Amino acid sequence: MKRRILLPLVLLALAGAAGAEEPDARQLVKNAIDHWRGLSSYTVMTMVIHRPDWERSMTMEAWTKGDDRALVRVIEPKKDRGNGTLTDDDSMWTYSPKVNRVIKVPSSMMGQSWMGSDFSNKDIARADDIIDQYDHTLVDTSVIDEIETYTIQSVPHEEAAVVWGKEVLTIRADYVVLEHAFYDQDGQVVKTLTSLDIGDMGGRTIATRQRMQKADEPGEWTEIAVLEVEYDLELRDSLFTLSNLRNPRD
Amino acid sequence: MDITLRLAWRNLWRQPRRTWLTIGAMVFSDVLLIFMISLQFGMYGLMIDNTLRIFSGHIQVQAPGYNDDQKMRQAVPDVRPLAAELRSDLGSETIAARGKAFGLASSKERSYGIGVYGVEPAFEPHVSNIPGLVDQGRYLGDIDAYEIVIGSVLARNLRVAVGDELTLLGSGLDGSFAAAVLEVVGTFDSGVQDIDRNIGEMPLGAFQEIFFMNGAGHQVVVMAPSLDEVPALQSRVEALVAGRDGLVVRDWDALEPGLKQAIEADMSSAFFMYGILVILVAFSVLNTQLMSVLERTHEFGVVMALGMKPARLGGLVMLETALMGLIGLVLGALIGAAVTLWLGTQGYSVPGMEEMAAQFNLPARIYPETTWLSTLLGPTVVFVFTLLAAVYPALRLRRLHPVEAMRSA
């Protein structure tokens, strides 16, 4: 299983690095997402929410499996421990131990902030939309830090249910996303996800620290730093269920 | 003087039908103006009162920037002691503290994003209509109780009834997870869709606990005895909170900027119409007086030949107009006042107006407000314009030469 998937990845990476042919933009985006997420993953990360007059830090663990499923649970601070989010396809549920209830996030709230950060619920739940519902064009190729880097413009299909006018991704040939900018319908940047640190973790080269920055609020950003990551591990399907969101079994 | 007055009076009734028709035009426009103006004043009063009484109040003490951004962190520290202090310093009960947050309200079946107000149950009824609009269950009681009243539409959407539980999820002041289970103790029906669908109120003490407010809130609402007393009260409140955490005091115009604009826009378009009406009446008076002057050219020539000064003749024409205008003014004001007073007790409604009225928080039936101002404003303006209209015919007399005048007709 592992080998079958990895081999084409390596081949593609080689092809890209050699510059033998123009890479397929859509494939680049898909590979970048797959690279970040793997077939399955377990991540421990810290999220720092920064505001001009205060800052807040949270540590969370996250599991993902396949394209659709993800479970995120807060470890620190103690006060918020056990709060969690489960996403499956486009649906999202949230759990709070204080009230011991699982609540489905209504679609009208999907554009709202996720856990008080600069990420929206949609950012967390719908990473795959960009592959299925966008047209991708390679607009620039350059070499950054001796690695071939592609700039891809992704424009949503007419009927796609997305709020963005377009997204621009800067992806290295090794599928590390350097920058991901979100534009509104008027072509103005709304927010940008930038990779601040890139390193080797869990057997891959990944962005270990990323910052989401809103364009019109320079003093407000959210940073996610990966502390620990494991890829392609065995994860039970029962991990991604509502009952597990409520009562962690591990 | 008597002779001119008597002459003017007799001249007026040489053509009774014409005079009555002209007076009729004045009376008609007077009645229309009185009715429209008092209806408008009545409506504006209601609009302002109903809108401000729902939430915003006349004056609010807030953190700087809160009015524009409404962010959780733009908070007023120790909001309850501050409200208590203002109550005792101003000797008024119509002052209440509030907190406001956004959250996800969920019943067993459904979830909606709503705005939640933390209120002081003892004082909120003095500053807001909502407590009085509870149609099911009761309003809030204990300031620390975990209970909530929600809009009737929200209750229907969530499929909860009085006595059911509601889960509230949101972010606290420090950004941490805020969550609580609250008992729905009542629902309110304000008739304003947006409010009935999106708003809940809970006791401020519980609100501060759930959202980690640490004693803070977001607004202190102050209600003045009447709209006219707002500026004076505002400066008193300003003096009392001056220098405290940079708190700012906003008046109702800043809190509900759309309201004054809507009224001003409506007023200017209405006064444009009134202007046209008044000018039309003035032209009809001009027409009448010009006619009556022209047909008397021969007669005027005779009296001038006998030694009457043109200025006195002009005065005569003005006096005729003034008498006619006065009759119009008195009749118009009497009939107009009678009509609006009657409608003031009966109420006035136009079929199909309910929808539009609801947008401005108005009842479907409107009671015009009859005041001296609304009764006399329109007729006085009509009277003044009537006099102005007579100036031209009167001035024409100055150019009259007795001989030529006697030869004509």
Q: A16-23, long-range: CB within 8 Å, 24+ apart, which pairs?
A: A16/A148, A16/A173, A17/A147, A17/A148, A17/A173, A17/A174, A19/A148, A22/A138, A23/A138, A23/A150
Angstrom distance (rounded) from CA B109 to CA B160: 9
Spatial CA neighbour of B145 closest among B181, B100, B169, B173: B181
B113 chain-A contacts, CB cut-off 8 A? 106, 108-109, 112
pLDDT band of residue A2 (cuts 50, 70, 90) is: very low
Contact (Cβ atoms closer than 8 angstroms) between residue A82 and residue B148? no
Give strand pairing partners of A103. Answer: A94
Q: Mutate which of A81, A91, A94, A220 to disrupt the B interface (most B C-beta within 10 Å)?
A: A94
A53:B106 CB<8 A: no
pLDDT tens digits for range A71-113: 888 888 888 888 888 888 778 888 888 888 888 888 777 777 8
Contact (Cβ atoms closer than 8 angstroms) between residue B116 and residue B130? no
pLDDT of residue B244: 79
pLDDT tens digits for range B109-141: 888 889 999 999 888 888 888 888 888 888 888
Q: For residue A116, give how far its alpha carbon lies from the nearest alpha carbon of chain B (Å).
A: 6
Distances A6 to A11, A149, A246, B383 between C-alpha atoms, Å: 9, 21, 35, 94
Instruction: Check residues B231 and A109 and name the one with the higher pLDDT.
Output: B231
Establish if A76 touches chain B: CB-CB under 8 angstroms: no
pLDDT of residue A1: 42
Angstrom distance (rounded) from CA A191 to CA B140: 42
Residue A21 pLDDT more than 80? no
pLDDT of residue A15: 45
Q: What is the dihedral sign for C-alpha B313, B317, B319, B323?
A: positive
Distances B276 to A16, A207, B19, B190, B272 between C-alpha atoms, Å: 77, 72, 22, 39, 6
SS3 A81: coil
Angstrom distance (rounded) from CA B248 to CA B271: 36
pLDDT tens digits for range A139-180: 888 887 788 888 888 888 888 777 788 888 888 888 888 888
Residue A17 pLDDT more than 90? no
Residue A3 pLDDT more than 50? no
Contact (Cβ atoms closer than 8 angstroms) between residue B181 and residue A99? yes
pLDDT of residue A20: 43
The DSSP bridge pattern shows strands B147-151 and A84-88 to be unpaired
Can you tell me which residue has the tokens 């009774």?
B16
Establish if A104 touches chain B: CB-CB under 8 angstroms: yes
Residue A157: CB atoms within 10 Å: 11
pLDDT of residue B363: 65
Chain B, 87 to 126: residues with Cβ < 8 Å from chain A are 104, 106, 110-113
Residue B331 pLDDT more than 80? yes
Q: For residue B107, give how far its alpha carbon lies from the nearest alpha carbon of chain A (Å).
A: 9
List all residues 6 or more positions away from B137 whose beta carbon is below 8 Å from its beta carbon.
B149, B162, B163, B184, B185, B186, B187
B176:A106 CB<8 A: no
Residue A132 pLDDT more than 90? no
Residue B326 pLDDT more than 90? yes
Establish if B174 touches chain A: CB-CB under 8 angstroms: yes
A54:B175 CB<8 A: yes
The beta-carbon neighbor of B111 closest among A98, A103, A116 is A103
B177 chain-A contacts, CB cut-off 8 A? 74, 79-80, 83, 96, 98, 115
pLDDT tens digits for range B264-315: 888 888 889 889 988 998 898 888 888 888 888 888 888 888 888 888 888 8
Would you state the structure tokens that stand for residue B142, as one six-digit string? Answer: 């204990």
A56:B174 CB<8 A: yes
Would you state the structure tokens that stand for residue A19, as one six-digit string? Answer: 């510059």
Round the average pLDDT of chain B to a whole number and report it. 85
Q: For residue A179, give how far its alpha carbon lies from the nearest alpha carbon of chain B (Å).
A: 27
Establish if B167 touches chain A: CB-CB under 8 angstroms: yes
pLDDT of residue A12: 47
Q: Mutate which of A74, A109, A120, A246 to disrupt the B interface (most B C-beta within 10 Å)?
A: A109
Distances A94 to A126, A245, B59, B65, B109 between C-alpha atoms, Å: 16, 8, 38, 31, 14
Establish if B32 touches chain A: CB-CB under 8 angstroms: no
pLDDT band of residue A11 (cuts 50, 70, 90) is: very low
Instruction: Check residues A66 and A7 and name the one with the higher pLDDT.
Output: A66
What percent of chain B is modeled with pLDDT above 70?
96
Predicted TM-score of the model (pTM): 0.71
pLDDT of residue B117: 92
Establish if B74 touches chain A: CB-CB under 8 angstroms: no
Where on the phi/psi map is residue A241: left (φ > 0), alpha (ψ -120 to 50), or beta?
beta
The beta-carbon neighbor of B176 closest among A79, A99, A108 is A79
Spatial CA neighbour of A137 closest among A31, A9, A22, A33: A22
Segment B210-221 shows an average pLDDT of 88
